[in-house]
Amino acid sequence: MKNQPVVIVTGASRGMGYWIAKWLSSRGANVTITARSLNDLQVLENQITGEGGSAIAISGDVSNPRTCLGIVEKTMKQFGRIDALVNNAGILDPISKIAECDPAQFQQNILVNLAGPFHMIRESIPALRESKGRIINISSGAAVKPIASWGAYCAAKAGLSHLTRVLAVEEPSITAVSVRPGVVDTGMQALIREKGPTAMTPELSNYFIKLKKQGKLEPPWVPARSIAWLALNAPSELSGELIEYDDPRILDPSIELFGTIQDVEQ
């Protein structure tokens, strides 16, 4: 695996991050997987290595700059290079109107969703310049659409998308893309259904509840496949864009490269 690409995936213990790492390893990429839960990371690490892949698990919170530095340093020590960084770790809380929002919770959201990617990016840039690599930031429809009671999340994701655009201007040798992954069946959606009835408007809360009941949430492996393709192959002409996970420019080649979930689970 020495000559294979090296990708860091944050928030890799579950949901999209888990599947991004699985897709990448299925095509021989070396992956550094990070999240707060070491036990879950070790399960994924064992799966990947058991299938002949190469992975290292590093637990930690990306809101801590020292954690971000450590992730990059350990990746370089293990693999000697970095070809892509996927900033997937994120939180939704606080679900609260701005007038009633806990300032500490608001700040923590910004630390995880915006400052965390900043620190990961900053520490990774020297290696990514060398490899002419890629930065994939997981954004959201909330970056462009105001959603009541999601003030911190909306602000952080809007900031992350614009940070991506700035990166595209500042770092021409690096391809930086932000992705809207759609409405995905993850723990974040479960949190919305749990807290929504008391913290959101009835119309908005019922909308998300109906999505689950009607089976309209996207399985996490679907957007993860597109994101994994971008980590390996994002063309430079996409740099700075906020792109939909099902945009044919990335969906079609991702299916061609990775196949279906049956292929990755074999």
Q: Which residue has the tokens 């965390």?
A: 116
Indicate the Cα dihedral angle 35, 38, 43, 49, nearest 10°: 80
Active site residues: 139, 153, 157
Q: State the Cα–Cα distance between residues 67 and 153, nearest whole angstrom.
A: 22
Q: What is the distance between the alpha carbons of residues 39 and 69, in angstroms, rounded to a whole number?
A: 21
Alpha helices in the chain (DSSP H): 15-26, 38-50, 65-79, 103-110, 116-131, 151-170, 187-199, 202-213, 221-233, 248-258, 261-265
Beta bridge partners of 33: 9, 57
> Terminal CA-to-CA distance of the chain, rounded, Å?
20
Cα–Cα distance measured from residue 115 to residue 45, given in angstroms and rounded to the nearest whole number: 26
Look at the chain and count its residues. 266
